Structures are given as C-alpha cells and as structure tokens.
Amino acid sequence: MQLSLWILKNWLEEFEPVLHTACHGSLSEHASNIESHICIEKVRLYDGKSPMDPYTVYTGASHSFFCDNKQQVICFFRNDYLALDTEDVTLVLNQLLSAFSFYEAWERHMHLLMVRQCSLTELLDASDEVLKNPLLIHDSSDAIIAVSTSYLNIEVDESWYELLSYGATLPEKSVAFHKTDNAVFDHTNRRPFYIPAGFFPKGTWSQNIFRQEEQISHLQRKLQASQWEPLDLMMLLKAVPLSLEYPAHTYLCRIFSRYSPYIFPAHMEHELLLLCNLSKLPQQKLFSFLGPWLKNSFYHCGASRPFWDLKQLSIACRQADLALQYGEREAGSIHEIHHHMIHFLRDVFQEHTDPSVLHPALQAIGGYDQKHHTDYYNTLFRYLQNERNSVLTAKCLHIHRNTLFHRLERIRDLFHLELENPEERFYLLLSFYCKIPGTVKHSPT
C-alpha cells in the first residue's frame, strides 16, 4: 500500500500539521505530478545515522532533522515534511502506523471483493471511509454505470439528483462543460487529473479507467468463454473488399464464427477483423477454409505475425495493414506480413536515407553497365540477395554458373569489393534496397 504526505496529514489533524513542500501549493495545483507523491510504503523512527529510504516517511524530534530548538515532531519524506504541534514522537508514530494498518486492511478487502467479481457499486460503497465523498463512474457516452450510495448520508446539491434521475449527464451540460474545460479530457491521459468546478460546486479528481487494458480484459473474458487458453498462439487478419459497393462483412462474420469458436470476427466500416487461435486451429487449416470464402466474396486479406499477448493487438493490426498495402489486390489472397517486410523496410530506408551514405560501388557499377552494356549491377544484387548461392543466382539470371563466376571475378577486380567480408556484403545489400524505386526489380527467388 502506498500513501502520500497529504493523506498522512489528514490522519494527524489533531496535531495541527503544517505541510512544507517543494511543490509550493496544494496538491490540486500539481495534478500532473500526483503519482510521484503517492509512494510512501513504510514509516520509521529517524535515528540521524542511517541513509534515508526514498519510499519511507521518517518521524522524530525537529532537532534530529534541523539545527533548531523547536519543540515539534517532524514527519519527513524526501524533500517535503510535516511539522506537528506536539513533542510526543511515540503518539505520532502510533498514529502513522494506524493509518498504514487502515489502508492495508482496505486494500485486502478490495482484493477479496474483486476476486468474487463484485459490482462496481459494491467497490465504491466499500470505499466510503477512504473516499469520504460520493463517487460516480461514467462510460464513454456519459451514462452512469455505478454510483456510491454515500451521497445519501451527506449534503449534495441538486446536480446529483438530476444525474441520477436521468442516469446520464444531460447533453447540454456535457457540451458546455467540454467547451469550458476540454483540456482536462485527454483520453490518452493515464493519470488522475483535476477538474475545476463544473458540474458540481467543488472541483473533483477524475481518472480515465476504461482504457486499452480494460478493453483487453473484456476481450480476454469473451475468448475464455470460447475455450481459448491464456498462452494460445494468435494471429490477426484484416480482410478488405475489393469494391466497397458490395461489402459482405456481416455475412462473413456469421459464417466464420459458426465454422469455429477459434475465429473471433469483428467488422468495422470498411474492413473485417479476424482474431484467430492458431493453437486450436492450425494456420494451414485456417487459410484453407478462409481462402475460398474470401475469393467468392471478393475480399483480400493481410495477416500479422503470430503472437501470444493480447496487448500486441495494435502492433498486429499495423502488421496486417502493411501486408494489405504491399500484397497484390487479388480476391481470396491472404498476404502474410513476413513476405512483405523487406519491401516495407526498403521504402522506409529510401524515404529517410541520404544517398551519399550508400555504398559508392553501386553508382560506379551502374555507370559501367550503361557504358559497356554489361549486367554487373543486377548480377551482384541477385548474388547477395540469394546469400551467395551460385546455383540459385545463375538460375535466377538465366545464365550458366561459369558465366556467373566470371562476372563475379570481374566485379571484384573492377570495383575492389571484398565479397568474403560479411560487413561489406551487408552494406552493399542494404544500399541496393535503399536505391531509388525501380533501380532493382524484385522477382521471386
């Protein structure tokens, strides 16, 4: 359990604590830095000798920390401290220990409730002593999905009853609030953020809790209900119709989900997403089933690399997009990203590489070919591309192996290349791929 000096200050109110902090202001004025303050894990008496642990609050007489004669007890944490109007260190220490015991018991209680899959409202009600004020949880449409019942025991304004009666924020208030304080509603913000007075008379702390992790947890529960295992190997496929005039998303979703519980389909406006379980439905069998349906429905498809963790979904989606981008638009085709990754990297290199850093031999070889009507440029590229496999390279170039050996010998002599050096070969091949599009024609090898 981790606490902050602000929390401990509330527990020490009877000693009239004065907070001295490097923040120079209230916690609400430093919302972006709140997590750096909620990290106190232990409390210790300060002996003035041992080095201070950055996660421990130390308490002791003022003269133990400062060169003064003040009759105070100090609670010191990093560069901040509480000055208490008392000389009883033991009493303060016991109060701090009581605070930690209270919050640790609350944390255990929360864990037990979540283990038995309690409702959000139960969690809120079980936190009344911690939160002190009533709490609402909204979904992305501003509909209320949980509310703590503690509002019944304290004085609240009419806004609460208005919200509860409609079960959601009134549209005109939501629009007005977003216009006034839209800076605080950043969906990428993962930390608690402070909202000045808007719906309610006082400012409030809020946090976006339904983030990607929540969506992934929801998806995991759905997959587990269909007998998916946590360590099953997965692949994401993205299918797109060749013509947007006659999409068959809904129809294909029904067909694929009926065929196997290990195909999880979902469709968006112009594309069909398929999350597939390769551990339960092998890739060869999967592609054999999908191919004809995609072909007859005039769809083509991009496939990610296999992955285990659902947190990799966004990466898998990007891979499927790239496979679609570089694969041919042919009905029924399923393009795997690893077949097109070299072409993607080539384009990235071409876009961001200064031509002056490429291997100088390439320009020299190209000029020599143009002047003497030779084919040394393409010969060297194919030889390096085929990892110096002479049989495969000769077949690719439609020449005899002896002709290939003669060309390579001439290339070494004319351009002083060390083709036995792996770094030289890598530099040359990388330079080939970084050349202007069209310089090297890629063909199956």
Supply the pLDDT for residue 238: 94
The tokens of 199 are what? 């719906």
Q: What is the full per-residue pLDDT of the chain (445 aa) written as tens digits?
A: 788 888 899 999 999 999 987 655 554 444 445 556 678 999 999 988 888 898 899 999 998 898 888 889 999 998 889 999 999 999 999 999 999 999 999 999 988 888 777 888 888 888 888 877 777 777 665 677 788 877 777 776 677 777 777 777 666 666 666 565 544 555 556 566 666 655 555 566 666 655 455 567 667 777 888 889 888 999 999 999 988 766 678 888 888 988 999 999 888 777 889 999 999 999 999 999 999 999 988 899 999 999 998 888 888 998 999 999 999 899 999 999 988 888 888 787 777 777 788 899 998 999 999 999 999 999 999 999 999 999 999 999 999 999 999 999 999 999 999 899 999 999 998 888 877 544 444 433 3
Number of helices (H) and strands (E) in the chain: give both, helices first.
17, 14
Half-sphere exposure of 37 (CA within 13 A, CB side): 21
pLDDT at 388: 92
pTM higher than the cut 0.85 = no
pLDDT score for 189: 60
Per DSSP, what are the bridge partners of residue 136? 147
Task: For residues 353 and 217, give the distance between their C-alpha atoms in angstroms, rounded to a whole number.
Answer: 41
**Could you tell me if 270 and 247 are in contact, meaning their C-beta atoms sit under 8 angstroms apart?**
yes
* Closest alpha carbon to 34 in 255, 285, 176, 205: 205
pLDDT of residue 129: 83
Give the whole-angstrom CA distance, residue 108 versus residue 365.
72
Calpha distance 120→135 (Å, rounded): 11
Q: Are 144 and 165 in contact (CB under 8 A)?
A: no
Helix (H, G, I), strand (E, B) or coil at 60: strand
